[in-house]
Copies of this chain bind each other. A is one copy, B any other.
Amino acid sequence: MPIIRVEMFEGRDRDQKRKIISEVTDGFCRATGASPESVNVIITDVSQDEWGRGGIAFADRDKS
């Protein structure tokens, strides 16, 4: 019953999200022998205005 969450910058399209769900599930199952059907993956998009490092939003870091 593992649950895998992926937080990443918004902007990836539906096909890329399909691949992430598939490949991350495969990776977990390769590592553990778990059945893919037991693995949940949830993707969360985060805006670059709402994610910062070094005290600066990535939206502003990228501009510099």
Count contacts on A: residues with CB < 8 A to the other chain: 48
The interface residues of chain B lying within 8 Å CB-to-CB of A7 are 2-5, 42
**Interface of chain A residues 18 through 41 with chain B (CB within 8 A):** 18-28, 30-32, 36-37, 39-41
A6:B2 contact, CB within 8 angstroms: yes
Q: A23-B28, A31-B24 are in contact. Are A55 and B36 (CB under 8 A)?
A: yes
Shortest A36–chain B CB gap in Å is 5
Closest to A21 in B: B52
Other than the given A23-B30, A41-B53, A42-B52, 5 more pairs (CB < 8 A) read A4-B6, A17-B57, A21-B52, A25-B27, A36-B54
